[in-house]
Amino acid sequence: MQLQFGKRRATVLNVTDEPAKFNFSPEDFKHFETYDLIYRTLCAILYNYVPTSGHPGGSISSGRFVQRIIFDTMDYDFSNPDEDAADFISYAAGHKALGLYAMWALRNEMVRVGNQSLLPRDEKYQLRLEDLLGFRRNPIEETELFKKYKAKALDGHPTPATPFVKLSTGASGVGVSTSFGLALGAVDVYGGANAPRVHVVEGEGGMTPGRVAEAFAFAATAGLKNLVIHIDWNQASIDSNHVTRDENGPGDYVQWDPIEFAYLHDWNVIIVPDGKDFKQIFTAQKLLGELKNDQPTAIVYRTVKGWKYGIEGRASHGAGHKFCSEGYYAALAEAENAFGIKFPRFEGDQTPNHVEKYYFDTLMTIRKIIETDKVTAAFLAGRLLESQKRLVSRARKPRTGGPNAELIYDGGRFKVAEMPLELQLKVGDTVTLRGVLGDVLNYYNKISSGAILAAAADLLGSTSVNNIYKGFPEGYFHTNLRPLSRTLSIGGICEDAIGGICSGVSSYGRHVGVGSSYAAFIAALQHITMRLHGIGQQARVNAFGGKYHPFIAIGAHTGLKTGEDGPTHADPQALQIVQENFPAGVLISLTPWDPQEIWPLVTAALQARPCVIVPFVTRPNEKVLDRAKYGLPQASAAASGVYLMRKAVGEADATIVLQESGVTYTFVESVLPRLDKDGFNLNVYYVASAELFDILSQSEQDKIFPSVLRSKAIGITGFTLPTLYRFVTSERGRRTSLHPFMKGHYMGSGQAHKVLEEAGLDSESQYQAIVKAIKGRQS
443 φ/ψ angles, rounded to the nearest 5 degrees: -60, -50
Spell out the domain ranges in the chain: 12-319+326-394, 405-622, 631-778
Taking residues 58-83, what's their average pLDDT?
98
DSSP 132-201: GGGBT--TT---HHHHHTT---B-SS--TTSTT--S---STTHHHHHHHHHHHHHHHHH-TTSPPPEEEE
Distance of CA 714 to the CA centre of its chain: 37
CATH number of 12-319+326-394: 3.40.50.970
pLDDT at 385 over 90: yes
Q: Provide the β-strand partners of residue 487.
A: 454
pLDDT in tens, 517-550: 999 999 999 999 999 999 999 999 999 999 999 9
Asked, colleague to colleague, whether 12-319+326-394 and 631-778 share their fold, the answer is: yes
Strand ranges of the sheet holding 551-556, from the earlier edge strand across to the other edge: 452-456, 512-518, 551-556, 612-615, 587-590
Sorting pLDDT into bands at 50, 70 and 90, what band is 777?
Answer: confident
484-521 b/e (C-beta count within 10 Å ≥ 16 → b):
ebbbbbbbeebbbbbbbbbbbbbbbbbbbbbbbbbbbb
CA–CA dist 64, 777 (Å, integer): 74
How much is the pLDDT for 171?
Answer: 86
Residue of 743, 519, 525, 558 lying closest to 662 (CA atoms): 558
Would you give the DSSP letter of residue 342?
Answer: -
Q: What ranges in 509-633 are assigned the alpha helix state H?
A: 519-525, 527-544, 574-578, 598-608
pLDDT at 778 over 80: no
CA–CA dist 310, 474 (Å, integer): 57
Distance of CA 442 to the CA centre of its chain: 23
| The three-state (H, E, C) secondary structure of 2-58, written as one string | CCCCCCCCCCEEEHHHCCCCCCCCHHHHHHHHHHHHHHHHHHHHHHHHCCCCCCHHH
684 φ/ψ angles, rounded to the nearest 5 degrees: -125, 120
For the CA atoms of the chain, what is the radius of gyration? Answer: 29
How much is the pLDDT for 20?
Answer: 84
Q: What is the sign, positive or negative, of the torsion defined by CA atoms of 47, 135, 164, 192?
A: positive
pLDDT in tens, 165-220: 999 998 888 999 999 999 999 999 999 999 999 999 999 999 999 999 999 999 99
How much is the pLDDT for 3?
Answer: 86
pLDDT at 649 over 90: yes
Provide the mean pLDDT of the chain.
Answer: 97
**Architecture field, domain 405-622:** 3-Layer(aba) Sandwich (3.40)
CA–CA dist 554, 85 (Å, integer): 31
Count CB-CB contacts under 10 A for residue 7: 5
CATH of 631-778, one of 3.40.50.920, 3.40.50.1100, 3.40.50.970, 3.40.50.2020: 3.40.50.920
pLDDT at 779 over 70: no
